[in-house]
Structure 1
């Protein structure tokens, strides 16, 4: 039995603190052949033998494309006030580009946004959560600089179509994952294994962010625009000088490579020096484009990384090592709520964003359904309580944290892991598409009603 957890009351947060839940298009929508949607890089990647652990794909996922009303009802019933979703680029431009967007795709997201507003949910739209149109990949994808312009056009169209109702926009979700997992390690779409290409992709992603910021501001002048980064506190494996130096180098590529240029500092000199010929090609004006002023920074926090010096560990000569101490999630990630405070304090100290949002925080566990049909996921309940308490602590020390989004509303397609890993507040029976609120969802609902439910 887990020990009791006593998070603050929700009323101890600022009155305008935004509580939300998050999803992404490819992970929940399904309907991959419906409504004129084109093929995405994940549709193609999932057909590669061995790419997905259970051989599955994002079809039908949670069939959200057809069941969105039920899902928004679930979100509203939790008591959250915001819903973060992503827009599938192939639903809008099946070929990635074009003079006329797909009207059925536009209509779907218009209905979805109207459904959120009807239920009192503030829409938070993410433009890119990894589902690039396959047609663009066949022209080089993010390695081809022309994709920057295609993304800017996509952003402008969505701003024109939804900007009267969507006031908060995220350009990219976790560009580190797109670049490194998709183009260096090959475990995400498009499945490439080329470090130099990954570094060029990371640069193009950041430039496209800056161009999308400008496009959105042109289409929807009152919109609040930002980007979401996956950030980690970096800890040395020991006090040896070699490990201490390795932690600095690793932080350079994991965190500073994205944060520094976004906040007008350019790419970190130590990382550029270490990359040498593998550094990306930068065109005049790119750094100004990347640093287009944003209204907020989204942070996805899951765990810290422990790093050791490793002479054979790639360009930066580092290695992330397994943390054997303390609890871990079913993904093998260490549970460390205090790391979230450490990270947020660091971001505020070094970059001073105008506002910070935790745009994802959540945990995967081996959920077990009882004979009564309930999922009593006390570990996830404890995880959320600890991390909400950490968010409150960050506020007390002066971090301008404005909101917290739980990942995720629904169990879903967990990328290379397929359907074997569950993060949801709501259990999804993929065979029947039945939804059941888990104990963690019940806990969050009670917490948001300012009830102390663990005594």
Structure 2
């Protein structure tokens, strides 16, 4: 049955991207980042040899882009601030006045157009000089990050609506220390555990610094969270799912929101001699400085089962020692990205936050569908007719609406992404934007999904066949 799904007053309709994926280097001065260094040394690892030199060239086109935000119905937008741009001497030393001017101009322009700026401080791009010092395994880097965060609070605090310490902090740990898809490409779980702990400590120390300034904004974190589903109700499958959940969901969610660490995970790391080093005062700082708001990035569920094969214990310690991924028959897939499409997962995630994390104020900070070769779907007006993306958005938002009706404090929805942007090692293979980008001309064209997004934002909802909801 078709029904108008109306969202709460002042709902945040928007999207998100990051500095390294959208700005381009520009002329403001910028230290070499870990990604720029990796591209320089191993360009073969990047799709079609495309690096982050220009990306969406937002640094030169931000006024034009902000008008496109208006034309696609945005009342909020998440950017990140480049640590390497703010501190071009390798992430430390004197702050860059040109970077301050650039970001103040961008934030002022957003506010002038009634678009609430959501600002994230770390979105995978670290000054390479700090990576050389050990990256997140180094306490020195933690302190450099806190200086960077404090500087941003001071310089931009009057212009920012909400702050976030990290986007998807699990990503650099998995990619950088376990799965070899993120610089520094080390396979060493114990180093990864140290980097994870130090990231959590940096988050808490940044929040502590933020609270000292008495700003009117809130600060939190953005986590990529995939609800974990067991293959069956068999007790071995349930235990496998519980362990996977501890590694991939609770590992950052618990300390960054509750200030505590999941016992199941700690027990495993102790049993296998994989615990990071820390000081007792660190635990106190983490306990006392937790997120005030939570961003939920949801793309796909995680399905697991008890292991069917024996682990080679002579190999590196990995979470998969305790479970295997379950390839569920009949699942719907985004074949371009290799991810399952399961809309109800976003509802289950919201309910988990409501029931187990004091119903903290939250919003969907990323959700989206990457599709390759979207020029196939261009109409006679050279506009991408991405009806599949419109359906994807509506199907997920219908479950967000259901969660809100059931008491979840979900305050907004941010799509990934605004304009097709550079996606790390995948470059421009899959397009996610409401606005298409011609890489040669940098011309921007609003897709059909961008037109839909504006209509949805203006109506603060959309019509939907609610019989589709489980």
Structure 2 length-normalised TM: 0.91
Q: CA deviation at 1:257?
A: 1.1
Q: Which residue of 1 aligns with 2:468?
A: none
What displacement does 1:52 show?
Answer: 1.4
Instruction: Identify the match of residue 174 of structure 1 among 168, 174, 183.
Output: 168
CA distance in 2, matches of 1:99, 1:6: 58
Shift of 1:274: 1.6
Which of these residues, 403, 416, 421, is aligned with residue 430 of structure 2? 421
Do the aligned residues in 2 keep the contact of 1:327 with 1:334 (CA within 8 Å)?
yes
8 Å Cα contact 1:443/1:453 also seen in 2: no
Aligned equivalents of 1:161, 1:38: Cα separation in 2: 19
Secondary structure of the structure 1 residue equivalent to 2:445: strand
Unaligned runs of 5+ in 1: none
Relative to the length of structure 1, the TM-score reads: 0.94
Question: CA offset at residue 216 of structure 1?
Answer: 2.0
1:271 paired residue among 265, 268, 274: 265
- In structure 2, the partner of 1:281 is 277
Task: From 240, 243, 248, give the equivalent of 2:242.
Answer: 248
Selected match of 2:364 from 331, 336, 358: 358
Matched, 1:441 2:438: no
Q: Which residue of 1 aligns with 2:323?
A: 318
Residue 9 of structure 2 corresponds to residue 15 of structure 1: yes
SS of residue in 2 equivalent to 1:238 = coil
Residue in 1 that maps onto 2:338 = 332
Q: Contact 1:57–1:418 at 8 Å: present in 2 too?
A: yes
CA distance in 2, matches of 1:320, 1:7: 37
1:112 match: 106
- What does the per-residue CA deviation read over 1:387-425, in whole Å, with 9 as the maximum and x for residues that have no partner? 111111110111011111111001111112111111111
Task: Give the distance between the partners of 1:77 and 1:359, measured in 2 at CA.
Answer: 20
CA distance in 2, matches of 1:290, 1:421: 37
The 8 Å contact of residues 297 and 353 in structure 1, kept in 2 or not, is answered as: no
Give the deviation of 1:163 after TM superposition.
Answer: 0.4
Residue 353 of structure 1, CA deviation: 4.3
Q: Which residue of 1 aligns with 2:303?
A: 306
Distance 1:219 1:268, change over 3 A: same
Segments of structure 2 that go 5 or more residues without pairing to the other structure are 312-316, 466-470
* Equivalent of residue 37 in structure 2, options 40, 44, 49: 44
- Over the residues paired in the alignment, what is the CA RMSD in angstroms? 1.9
Q: Deviations over 1:363-384 (max 9, x none)?
A: 1123232343011111111000
Give the Cα separation in 1 of the matches to 2:427 and 2:462. 35
Q: Relative to 1, partners in 2 of residues 1:307 and 1:122: Cα closer, same or farther, differing over 3 Å?
A: same
- Output one character per residue of 1:162-181: Cα deviation in whole Å (capped at 9) or x when no partner: 00111310000011002111
Structure 1 partner of 2:291: 294
**Which one of the candidate residues 400, 421, 425 is aligned to 1:412?**
421
1:391-402 aligned within 5 A: 391-402=400-411
Per the TM alignment, residue 113 of structure 1 is displaced from its structure 2 partner at its CA by: 0.3
Partners of 2:3 and 2:275 in 1: CA distance: 45
**Residue 49 of structure 2 is aligned to residue 55 of structure 1:** yes
Conserved in 2, the CA contact under 8 Å of 1:40 and 1:133? yes
Partner Cα distance (2:284, 2:359) in 1 = 17
Paired residues in the alignment total: 448
CA 1:439–1:326 in structure 2 vs 1: closer, same or farther (change >3 Å)? Answer: farther
- Asked if 1 retains the 8 angstrom alpha-carbon contact of 2:237 and 2:306, the reply is yes
